[in-house]
Amino acid sequence: MIDVQTKMTERALELLCLPEGQPSYLLDIGCGTGLSGDYLTEEGHYWVGIDISPAMLDAALDREIDGDLLLGDMGQGVPFRPGSFDGCISISAVQWLCNANKKSDIPAKRLYCFFSSLYSVLVRGARAVLQLYPENSEQLELITTQATRAGFTGGVVVDYPNSTKAKKFYLCLFSGPSAFLPKGLSEAEDGEEATESRFTKDRARYRMARQGMVKKSREWVLEKKERRRRQGKAVRPDTQYTGRKRRPRF
């Protein structure tokens, strides 16, 4: 069973679109115990990891990873010369910048400090792919605004947007001229499903959506539960027993 972190690193590396067959020098923000770094090494890249926790870095040393480690706070800036790295990844770390640990911390300033220094240490045209868990849309907007202020272009790629468990956010940032943003993964096989909003002139009547459903069928029960969830009410989780056919006497 492949670790979730490793899977996310694989996807982040995929989104990074590095030149094929060429070893690159990468930055791993919030590298922790080096799980993501191990994958980078496996793919033939060289990397430097930054983490704020000495305990995590000690554990990384015990695992004998190949990359170099730094004890540092990303909110204070990335301490490298301009144009040092060919790319940057981060797995489940950037959202921590939104927490103010000390009274004097202002998340927006720390985010801007991080993104502006990241922009500088990347080679022109390089990308940064940051997988994160935003608490809500305001947090995501705060993060993307600061990244844009720092000079990055790009956007958020969402994988499996319809699944609460599998949904993952990847903030893809480009430091050079605007590049094409990759499509997020989804359940649909044909990949025709749009992951960004489409603005069209035709308005589908809301009632049409429910016409297909027979009242009291399993489909209807699931739709009703989803509706109540959207309204913010407490709803039992869906299981294999939801809306099942009961015995006639019921």
Which residues would be at the binding site for another protein (CB under 8 A)?
Answer: 22-23, 25, 44, 46, 48, 50, 52, 57-58, 61, 66, 68-73, 75-81, 83-84, 102, 104-106, 109-110, 113, 117
Three-state DSSP state, 22: coil
Q: Which CB atom, from 78 or from 140, has the smaller least distance to another protein?
A: 78
Angle at CA of residue 206, ends 203 and 207, nearest 5°? 130
Q: Which CB atom, from 79 or from 191, has the smaller least distance to another protein?
A: 79
Shortest Cβ 70–another protein spacing (Å): 6
Q: Which CB atom, from 81 or from 245, has the smaller least distance to another protein?
A: 81
> What is the radius of gyration, based on Cα positions, of the chain?
22
The burial class, CB within 10 Å (0-12 / 13-18 / 19+), for 231 is exposed
Shortest Cβ 139–another protein spacing (Å): 19
Task: Give the separation between CA 237 and CA 248, rounded to whole angstroms.
Answer: 25
Shortest Cβ 78–another protein spacing (Å): 8
Shortest Cβ 43–another protein spacing (Å): 13
Q: Which CB atom, from 110 or from 127, has the smaller least distance to another protein?
A: 110
Burial readout 140-174 (b: 16 or more C-beta within 10 A, e: otherwise)? bebbbebbeebebebbbbbbebeeeeeebbbbbbb
